[in-house]
């Protein structure tokens, strides 16, 4: 009976820690099945909490996170938006959902906001904390 309780406890701990892993550039760059980035979802909280900071220059962020599965665009006010794709969920052969890290920069290329987002959902799943919080 104790063994079953221990197994259940370990399983619960593994599931609850599923999306947290320290940032590791080698794993961040890894490309998995269907052109996904299998480890980014697990590292995004650490990236937002410990690696990205308001005021970082665009090039610092690119040096940290690289180019794999990234795209650059501009928002409606002309500011730079850097996006890193993560994970695509499929239903059969169709996309069911997509996730990404969206990093915004001011016109002078300084990081202003960053958030982990889900396609078709305006509210971030997790976002960069303001300094001092």
Q: Is the dihedral of CA 127, 61, 30, 86 positive or negative?
A: positive
pLDDT at 48: 96
Cβ 126 vs Cβ 132: under 8 Å: no
Would the pTM of this model clear 0.85, i.e. be above it?
A: no
pLDDT at 19: 60
Domain regions of the chain by residue span:
21-127
The CATH architecture one would assign to domain 21-127 is 2-Layer Sandwich (3.30)
- Per-10-residue mean pLDDT of the chain, 133 residues long, equals 51 51 93 76 94 97 92 88 77 68 95 90 85 50
């Amino acid at each position: 009976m104790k063994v079953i309780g221990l197994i259940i406890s370990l399983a619960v701990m593994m599931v609850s820690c599923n999306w947290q892993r320290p940032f590791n550039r080698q794993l961040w760059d890894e490309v998995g099945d269907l052109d996904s980035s299998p480890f980014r979802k697990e590292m995004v909280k650490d990236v937002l909490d410990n690696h990205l900071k308001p005021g970082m220059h665009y090039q610092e962020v690119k040096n940290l996170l690289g180019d794999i599965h990234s795209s650059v665009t501009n928002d409606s006010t002309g500011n730079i938006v850097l996006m890193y794709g993560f994970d695509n969920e499929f239903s059969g052969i169709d996309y069911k959902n997509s996730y990404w890290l969206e990093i915004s920069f001011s016109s002078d290329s300084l990081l202003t906001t960053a958030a982990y987002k889900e396609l078709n959902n305006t509210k971030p799943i997790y976002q960069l904390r303001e300094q001092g919080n």
